[in-house]
Amino acid sequence: MLSIIQPVLLFLRKLSSFAILSLAIASPAFSAEPTASMDEAIGLFRARKLAEATTAFEKLAVAEPTNPEPAFYLGQIALHREDPETAVRWLEKTVDLAPRKSAYQKTLGDAYCLSTAKASLFSKGGFAKKALATLKKAVALDPDNLEARESLIQFYRRAPAIAGGGMDKAYAEAAEIQKRNEVRGALVLVELYAAEKKYPEAFALLDAAIAKKPESKILLYQLGRIAENSGQQLDRGEAALKAYLQSPPQPGEPAPCNAHWRLGTLYEKKGDQAAARHEYETALQLNPGFRQAQEALKKLNP
């Protein structure tokens, strides 16, 4: 009898060892690469380590299936990569998990806008309809979500009237932004004026905004930008960009290389190629990969 039992016990021990080993492999607790925390994953995202961030958020999405944050960040990464299909998939999941959060609706609306731009002619209408409805919902959930209002303005600017677009609607949204943030609203309105080549209105609005907020450097940059784009008031544009470069930009403001590049194009319009070359070279010293400055310098040095 003993000779029969011993092989059976040996088999059961081996089976038990295999089961423990399998459990150890499958369990995150035994994994050689533990799942990153949400804070760690967000840190990777903010550091623009997108491949590592994607892996981290994908693991978190599996580990925390009711948490909308991993899906939200995966959708943002897909938007950054201009992959609308993946962005929509993750962001629709985000909104399903948290339908009352304005920021999620806004980002899904952005994904639908990107889908509209990349879709076939027969699919554009459906995506445009979804984009408009989602962005409107984002604003309805939080009227102070200025990013959502700005996305809605971009939709109104680009969409045909049959899809719900229209510059009158864009101007109305810009006015709502201006009620909530005077400088930001002025910048948006200036963009709309410039898009329609209403340069006198753009300069007048900037003059009024600068008089009220002389400490706002971004208004100076915008004045230089409009002068450079329009070819009008070039001396004022030059002075504004030079003033902008007197101190380091604040978070969210254009980098100094952008201001030097715009100064270069402004000098070209003034016929001063030597000064233009100097500004392009300065922009490239600050950012060697700055494509616009590279192309502008190449045209000056064929």
Domains for the chain: give ranges and CATH numbers: 182-254 (1.25.40), 257-302 (no CATH)
Q: Tell me what pLDDT residue 120 has.
A: 82
Res 33: pLDDT: 58
- What is the average pLDDT score of the chain? 89
- Indicate the pLDDT class of residue 300, thresholds 50, 70 and 90: confident
Question: What is the C-alpha to C-alpha distance for residues 78 and 196, in angstroms, rounded to an integer?
Answer: 32
pLDDT-derived band at 2, boundaries 50, 70, 90: very low
DSSP the chain: -HHHHHHHHHHHHHHHHHHHHHHHHHSGGG-SSPPPPHHHHHHHHHTT-HHHHHHHHHHHHHH-TT-HHHHHHHHHHHHHTT-HHHHHHHHHHHHHH-TT-HHHHHHHHHHHHHHHHHS-HHHHHHHHHHHHHHHHHHHHH-TT-HHHHHHHHHHHHHS-GGGT--HHHHHHHHHHHHHH-HHHHHHHHHHHHHHTT-HHHHHHHHHHHHHH-TT-HHHHHHHHHHHHHHT-SHHHHHHHHHHHTTSPPPTTSPPHHHHHHHHHHHHHHTT-HHHHHHHHHHHHHH-TT-HHHHHHHHHH--
Q: What tens digit of pLDDT does each residue of 212-269 get?
A: 999 899 999 999 999 999 999 999 999 999 999 999 998 889 999 999 999 999 999 9
| Higher per-residue pLDDT: 2 or 224 | 224
pTM as predicted = 0.80
At 125-164, the pLDDT tens digits run 899 999 999 999 999 999 999 999 999 999 999 999 999 9
